[in-house]
């Protein structure tokens, strides 16, 4: 699948995520992004990954956990809609998920292992889809959304967080053992 979703296939507030995804084969994009994310984060110490750029913001560990949880949820939505299940799917409160998960107590290594496992599962799911599956639509968080929009949202969401990591975390003068 190479064609990006049209603006009628997702809520307008996801447009920024869609704009962040380059043209290309969706499977290749997922695999390349996994390598980028792993390369970006695998060398971090637990001290570095416990950094938040300001009070009330997530630590890098919490962001890794958030990326993984969000992909889990979006993959479930993708699966449900691709299989023709018309059950309306709920939204989720990302801050509550992060707070309940206690990602800060985990190691970077364990967080990245979860991330990689979830990404491998997502890639396997996306690879299994037929042409007709990509255009199916369903309801998630009170909005109509297509299978292909969900796949692009996963990619765009992660690219959004890469940008935040570079601009707000790694570029901060307060970042421990600054690696920039």
Give the span between the Cα atoms of 53 and 58, in whole angstroms.
8
Mean pLDDT (the chain) is 95
Residue 179 has pLDDT above 90, yes or no: no
**CA dist 14 to 73, 110, 146, 158, Å?**
16, 29, 12, 13
Give the span between the Cα atoms of 10 and 38, in whole angstroms.
28
The pLDDT confidence band at residue 124, using thresholds 50, 70 and 90, is very high
Q: What is the structure's pLDDT at 177?
A: 64
- Supply the CATH classification number for the domain 58-173: 1.20.120.450
* pLDDT per residue as tens digits for the range 19-30: 999 999 999 999
More confident residue, 144 or 172: 144
Q: Taking the CA atoms of the chain, what radius of gyration do you get in angstroms?
A: 16
Domain boundaries, the chain: 58-173
Give the span between the Cα atoms of 138 and 87, in whole angstroms.
8
Average pLDDT on 86-105 reads: 96
């Amino acid at each position: 699948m190479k064609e990006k979703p049209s603006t009628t296939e997702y809520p307008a507030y996801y447009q920024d995520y869609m704009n962040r995804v380059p043209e290309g084969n969706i499977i290749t994009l997922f695999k390349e992004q996994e390598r980028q994310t792993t390369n970006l984060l695998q060398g971090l110490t637990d001290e570095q990954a416990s950094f938040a750029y300001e009070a009330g913001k997530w630590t890098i560990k919490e962001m890794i956990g958030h990326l993984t949880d969000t992909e889990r949820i979006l993959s479930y939505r993708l699966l449900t809609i691709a299989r023709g299940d018309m059950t309306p799917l709920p939204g989720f409160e990302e801050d509550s998920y992060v707070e309940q998960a206690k990602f800060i107590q985990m190691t970077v290594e364990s967080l990245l292992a979860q991330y990689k496992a979830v990404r491998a599962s997502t890639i396997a799911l996306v690879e299994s889809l037929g042409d007709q599956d990509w255009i199916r639509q369903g309801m998630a968080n009170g909005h109509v959304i297509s299978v292909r929009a969900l796949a692009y949202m996963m990619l765009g969401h992660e690219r959004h967080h890469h940008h935040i990591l570079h601009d707000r975390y790694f570029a901060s003068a307060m970042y421990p053992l600054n690696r920039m």
